[in-house]
Structure 1
Amino acid sequence: MQDGGHHARSIKNRAPAAIQVTAEQLLRDAQERQESQFRAPKQLRGRKREEFEKRIRQTRSNIKEWLQYANWEASQGEYARSRSVFERALDVDPRSLKGRNVQHARNLFDRAVTLLPRVDQLWYKYVYLEELLQNVPGARQVFERWMQWEPDDKAWQAYIKMETRYGELDRASTIYERWIAVRPEPRNWVKWAKFEEDRTKLDKAREVFQTALEFFGDGEEEVEKAQAVFSAFAKMETRLKEYERARVIYKFALSRVPRTKSAALYAHHRPGKRRIQYEDELAQEGHNYDAWFDTRVGGGRIPRRGDEGATLEESRLPGQKRHWRRYIFLWLNYALFEEIETKVYTTAIRVVPHKQFTFAKLWLMFANFEVRQLDLPAARKILGAAIGMCPKEALFKGYIQLELDLREFDRVRTLYEKYIEFDPSNSSAWVKYAELESQLEDFSRTRAIFELGVTQQPLAMPEVLWKAYIDFEVEEGNREGARALYERLVAISGHWKVWIAYAEFEAAPIPVARELREEREEEEEEEETEMAPGDVERARRVFERGYADLRKQGLKDERAALLEVWKTFEEKNGTPEDVQQVQSKIPIVSARRVKANDGQEELVWDMVFPDDERESNPTSFQFLQMAHQWKKKQAEKAKTSQPEGALQSPGAPSAPSFTRASAATTQEQDTDMRDASSDVASSHGGD
């Protein structure tokens, strides 16, 4: 332009350029040509941070200051510091920061589910976002948009679970109805009915099942397809104790579908499957009471039918008790089921041949049943009839325990008298009877019962009764009475354990007499029981008597056992001389050879008691003692004289038991010792 004005140059060629530049290329070029971010020096950054910190302290609630601070840290490449500032800002005002991001996320999810409505993961995340923000109406709106696309079953279940979490059960039921309209599968009907049952809408649950059955129809193919619905319907009625309804449902379904195609129904319907199996087993063997038990417990019908059917078989049972045991347990099971029916017990008692054998458990359970019915006279009458008809130890114990629980001690005494009349040889019965009287503090009666019991002949396990009697006298502080009992017991049995117990009793302290204890307790009120000391000399004399008695009987093992206990006693209570005296009685174990029946020699070990040798072979016994003394000295001398390592090797043969009588060195004394040893061996049958 000649006039000097600034006018835009006109474009004459409006055709597109040969090389087109895309927006992506423009952005890439801008990124490449962008200058590097200015990074302030360290000191400057420190001053800048101080300024930001001062500003946010002054205006803490101003979120813009926080954002500027965080963005500046990010521009300096301090991303950790920037993140820390953002977190501090969130503590101050979380809504202002979240609001912008949440809205962006909501817009993004909205666009995503609009473009990709078949990607279920996007819908799940969208719903989770709204529920996380506690925007339940928004989450419900998202679900409604999703359900318009008729997604799979998991999406419907997620919608129902959300409504259930917030207590909107009616909305959840409506969603179930819409779900069934979209996918009327049997499992979906069952889930809907189970939901209604769980929220105690039983009429609604039945209505759902009935609607499902009407929907599927009653043809063979339709019923076969809806087996799960029939089974769930019957199970619900069973849980509600509506057994007749459940039975009708099962019968209807099984009548429409052949057995080959209704395996699932038969698996759930125990009367349909198991009863056929049980009835087949019972038809083959009527005495198979395991099958009767299974019919009663697992048959699915009223148990009374299986129990009453089993009672028809008792006439053909063998006459042995072991064949009746399972049968009687079936009766007991039947009686426990009925509980209020007395005729079950009476019928069971009537069929048992009590003259041959009886079942105490049956009688006791019948009596306990009457006790539960608060009819004590009937219970006593039952147990009295049982004892009169077929007395048995378990019946006596059960009847006695019943009266003890009722604190009827006079009746208990009468029962114990009948008990010991029935079986006077039962030691435990005598002991229990005496313990009862002792607990009732009738000590003269207790002592009389014990006296009567120990005089019974024969007596099973008499040691139990004698021990209880002696313990009673000891507890009463009656040492003379206990000593008299021990004297009677050793005169009867003479057992080495009785002698040991007798000696230990004499040495041990016992409580003082009961009268003295009661008087001193009233006066001093001492907690510890005063004890009367024992007599060691008496105990030692008892050991001597016991040793002499066992020696007289020729019991070597028992004498050795008594001596061991006696030695321990003397070590604890006696002097070294007393211990040495007992030690001198301990036997020496020797070996001798005996010819067997086949002519071969056998080595037999025997115990040689010094007392026996002293009386039978006094000379040989003296030489035997000398030989042992010499052997002991030689062993001690060998230990002191020989150095370590020069001792006899383990594999070398041991020295003989009897070699010399003393340390004499003359040839004549050596010969005498050998002769003495030969005499001792010959006296015991050795070579």
Structure 2
Amino acid sequence: MNSERTARVKNKAVAPLQITAEQILLEAFERRDDGLKVPEQRITDSEELKEYQGRKRKEYEEALRRNRLNFGQWMRYAQWEIDQREMERARSVFERALDVDSTNVPLWIRYIQCELKERNINHARNLLDRAVTILPRVDKLWFNYVSVEEMLSNIPGCRQVFERWMAWRPNPPAWNAYINLEKRYGEYDRARDIFERFTAAYPQSENWIKWARFEEEVGTAENVRDVYTLAVDTILAIGGEEFLDEKILANWAKWEARQKEWERARAIYKFGLERLSKSKSENLYNSYTAFEKQYGDKDGIDDVILSKRRIKYEDQVTSDPFDYDAWFSYLTLMEETSSDDVDSVRDVYERAIANVPQIEEKRYWRRYIFLWIRYAVYEELTNNDVERTREIYNQCIKTIPHKKFSFDKIWLLYAKFEIRQGNLQRARKILGQGLGLSGKPKIYKGYIELEKELKEFDRCRKLYEKFLENYPDLPLGWIEYATLEQQLGDDDRARAIYELAIEQPEMEMPELVWKRYIEFETEVGEYDRARKLFETLVEKTNHVKVWCSYATFELSVPGEDSDDEDHAGYNEDDEDEEREIVVTEEAKERARKIFQRAWNRFKQTDQKEDRVVLNNTWIEFEKTYGTPETLSTVEKQAPSMVKKRRRLPDGSFEEYFDYVFPTDEDNSMAKLLEAARKFKERQAAAASSSV
């Protein structure tokens, strides 16, 4: 028996007929059980009807007893009573529901609609009257009320309802409905009065525009213009320019353009652009540009662009009055576009300088002071108003807190202005006041330059002396004073000034004074004095650059047997050709000795870096003025750079580079390097001979 049984293998292949989930759901839906069907009830006599009505009323009452706030149930109850033709009972249900909540708007609407369906018009009116009295802020009740009255052709009654409604200052849709009512029946004067009351209650731009368009349809051009004028005046009176809307102005200007009143339209555009900020007038700009392109000329388009820029700068300086760069741009625009309107330009200047920096630090005042300077230059050069320019300078000086800082430029410009007016004494008085309040080197320099131009050299000397008393550490004062004396031919006084300068214990960059002093002695031919100065300086500083300058100086010194300029180191063959310096052998030898002294000095003091610089300069000298033998001698002194190690305080080692000079005595490293060099040369020679 078991042998006859065979094993069955489950076929897991895909079935040839596929059943989708949609087919399964569809089959389940078709086989659904409809359940028990309630047999339709048929009422055959009055007793059965009364029994049915009593049972239904009992069900409704029981449901309302459980939840009196279920207004859906109240309305179903009332509607059932209406279906039973029991209108009184339905009214009773509605009234009971209103006693529960008299503010339920859907309940009022349903009650009113039921009365209207039953053609109980007076009942519906009474309900509407009660509803709007209890809920005067519900627009839906009012709309139903006026719709009923208009549907009954009771226009006076409808108008009366609207008037009651408008007394509550409803939302704009209510006003628009009232206006549309009057328009439908041709009562344009009444509509115009309603618009006037409407815009008084809601002075928004769209309401004024609606009124203007109404006048375009039924009124005259003067009426439209009066509406726009009244709109702008009302908005300006209520909130000022910040509440002015570009929509009103743009619509007004476009309407004027359609009436071919182009000048009026242009005036309206400019009126808006001058009063509205850039952020609030972009559409107005675009409309104005399109208007000028269509009806204007090139000047008109330029005016549009300039107006845009003017409004842009006005916004910038209004938002940040201390943005002085914006004020400068604004002033440039005003000077270019309003050159004939001087008062407007001055007004912008006055507004700009009124913004005094709040922080008394000089860096915050620099841009601000240039506003004053520009103002003064504008009044002097453009308006030729001398007195106003003088007053601007005076006010500027009073504004600056001189106890903390001052501005030399103001004093100098004020003084030069007075000189241009021929008031020399006033200019000197101003500069003297500047020295007293500020005393900066620039004022001294400007004052001295003024006196130089006037050839008042005694005044220049007094100013230089005062300057050097206050600023003895500044080298330029000493140099300029001595240079003045040299130009005046008083070499002894100039030399005395230089001597005082180099004796100063403290000075910024004293090398400038030494350099100029040596140049002075060289220019006047006092080479021995210049040489002594070099000797003093090298003893004092021992600086490599001083030694190199000393050697270069010796090259320019003529020999002792030179009697005239032709033999004093110069060769002048032609007046038009540049004079060439002739370096004598004596001068070369003096320079070579100075190089050698410097080399020995640096060798004693172990100044290796200075020796390297000196050696390079010496090599260049020998290449130019020396012989092959002297050049070879100096080149042999050139150092080599080697890598060394040294121990640090923490016990570690670091590598560094050092200079090794072959001419130094007892220099084992130099000898080793020299031996290595010779060995390398011998190897190279042997290799070449074998080849």
How far apart are 1:409 and its partner, in Å?
2.3
2:255 aligns with 221
The AA in structure 2 aligned to 1:447 is: R
1:509-588 equivalences in 2 (<5 Å)? 509-510=557-558, 533=584, 534-588=586-640
CA distance in 2, matches of 1:558, 1:271: 66
1:287 aligns with 2:339: no
State the alpha-carbon separation in 2 of the partners of residues 327 and 359 from structure 1.
11
| Deviation, structure 1 residue 474 | 1.2
Does the aligned pair in 2 maintain the 1:278–1:291 contact within 8 Å? Answer: yes
Shift of 1:262: 4.0
**Distance change in 2, residues 1:310/1:633 (3 Å):** closer
Q: Superposition pairs for residues 304-383 of structure 1, below 5 Å? A: 304-314=346-356, 317-339=358-380, 340=386, 341=388, 342-383=390-431
Q: 1:383 and 1:298 mapped to 2: Cα distance? A: 34
Deviation of the 1:385 alpha carbon: 0.9
Q: How many residue pairs were aligned?
A: 403
Q: Work out the CA distance in 2 between the residues paired with 1:330 and 1:633.
A: 77
**Aligned-residue identity in percent:** 37
- Secondary structure of 2:473 counterpart: coil
Q: Is the 8 A contact 2:615 2:638 kept in 1?
A: yes
Secondary structure of the residue aligned to 1:610 is coil
| Larger Rg over CA atoms | 2
Shift of the 279–510 alpha-carbon distance from structure 1 to 2, 3 Å rule, reads same
Task: Say if 1:292 and 1:565 are closer, same or farther in 2 by CA, change over 3 A.
Answer: closer
SS of the residue aligned with 1:391? coil
TM-score calculated relative to the size of structure 2? 0.51
What's the counterpart of residue 151 of structure 1? none
Deviation at 1:408, TM superposition (A): 2.5
Structure 2 letter corresponding to 1:321:
K
Q: Does the aligned pair in 2 maintain the 1:512–1:531 contact within 8 Å?
A: no
Cα distance 1:414–1:492, how it changes in 2: closer, same or farther (>3 A)?
same
Q: AA paired with 1:553? A: T
Question: 1:354 Cα shift?
Answer: 1.1
Equivalent residue number for residue 610 of structure 1: 662
1:465 corresponding residue in structure 2: 513
| Partners of 1:400 and 1:415 within 8 A in 2 | yes
Note if contact 1:560-1:587 (Cα within 8 Å) is conserved in structure 2.
Answer: yes
Q: Answer with 293-302 or 498-507: which moved more.
A: 293-302
Structure 1 residues 596 and 642, CA, compared in 2 at 3 Å: closer, same or farther?
farther
Q: Distance in 2 between matches of 1:334 and 1:409?
A: 34
Cα displacement string for residues 615-668 of structure 1 (whole angstroms, at most 9, x for unaligned residues):
4x5xx479537614632541551463253xxxxxxxxxxxxxxxxxxxxxxxxx
Alignment of 1:389-538 (within 5 A): 389-510=437-558, 533=584, 534-538=586-590
Equivalent positions of 1:193-272 (< 5 A) are: 221-222=255-256, 261-262=287-288, 264=292, 268=303
Determine the C-alpha separation between the residues in 2 that align with 1:503 and 1:325: 48
Per the TM alignment, residue 328 of structure 1 is displaced from its structure 2 partner at its CA by 0.9
Q: What amino acid is aligned across from residue 618 of structure 2 in structure 1?
A: W
Give the letter aligned to residue 597 of structure 2. R
> What are the superposed Cα offsets for residues 385-432 of structure 1, whole Å, 9 maximum, x if unpaired?
111210112222222222222332222222222222221121122222
TM-score, normalised by the number of residues in structure 1: 0.51
Amino acid at match of 1:221: W
Counterpart Cα distance in 1 of 2:256 and 2:562? 90
Distance 1:290 1:610, change over 3 A: closer
The higher relative CO (CA closer than 8 Å, separation ≥ 6) is in: 1
State whether residues 230 and 253 of structure 1, in contact with CA within 8 Å, keep that contact through their aligned partners in structure 2. no
- For residues 252 and 478 of structure 1, do their structure 2 counterparts lie closer, same or farther at Cα, with a shift above 3 Å needed? closer
Any conservation in 1 of the 2:642–2:658 contact (CA below 8 Å)? yes
Q: Is the CA contact (8 Å cut-off) linking 2:273 and 2:308 kept in structure 1?
A: no
Deviations 1:41-81, CA, capped at 9 Å, x for gaps: xxxxxxxxxxxxxxxxxxxxxxxxxxxxxxxxxxxxxxxxx
Q: Could you tell me whether the CA contact under 8 Å between 1:509 and 1:531 is conserved in 2?
A: no
* Contact 1:570–1:579 (CA under 8 A) maintained in structure 2: yes
Shift of 1:580: 4.2
What is the DSSP-based 3-state SS (H/G/I as helix, E as strand, rest coil) of the residue aligned with 2:505?
coil
- Give 1:544 shift: 1.8
Equivalents in 1 of 2:332, 2:372: separation in Å?
Answer: 13
Q: Is the CA contact 2:416–2:427 (under 8 Å) kept in the aligned structure 1?
A: yes
SS of the residue corresponding to residue 658 of structure 2 reads strand
Tell me, yes or no, if the aligned pair for 2:588 and 2:625 is still in contact at 8 Å. yes
Unaligned runs of 5+ in 1: 1-217, 235-246, 644-687
Distance 1:561 1:249, change over 3 A: closer
After TM superposition, the structure 1 stretch with the greater mean CA deviation from structure 2, 294-303 or 490-499, is 294-303
Cα distance change, pair 386–298 in 1 and its aligned pair in 2 (3 A): same
Deviations 1:475-506 (A, max 9, x none): 11211111001011101111011111112222
In the TM superposition, what is the alpha-carbon distance from 1:370 to its structure 2 partner? 0.9
- Judged with a 3 Å threshold, the aligned counterparts in structure 2 of structure 1 residues 438 and 228 are, in CA distance, closer, same or farther, namely farther
Q: Is the 8 A contact 1:511 1:530 kept in 2?
A: no
Q: CA deviation at 1:537?
A: 2.9
SS in 2 for 1:535: helix
Contact 1:511 1:529 in 2 (8 A): no
* Partner secondary structure for residue 605 of structure 1: strand
Residue 593 (structure 1) shift: 4.3
- Contact 2:559–2:587, Cα closer than 8 Å, also in 1: no
Indicate if the aligned counterparts of 1:296 and 1:305 stay in contact, CA closer than 8 A.
no
Q: Deviations over 1:417-476 (max 9, x none)?
A: 222222112112222222222222211111111111122221112222211111111111
| Equivalent residues of 1:227, 1:253 under 8 A apart | no
Conserved? CA contact 2:375–2:392, under 8 Å: yes
- Distance in structure 2 (CA, Å) of the matches to 1:629 and 1:532: 38
- Cα pair distance change 1:513/1:375, threshold 3 Å: farther
| DSSP 3-state at the match of 2:499 | helix
- State the alpha-carbon separation in 1 of the partners of residues 437 and 561 from structure 2: 46
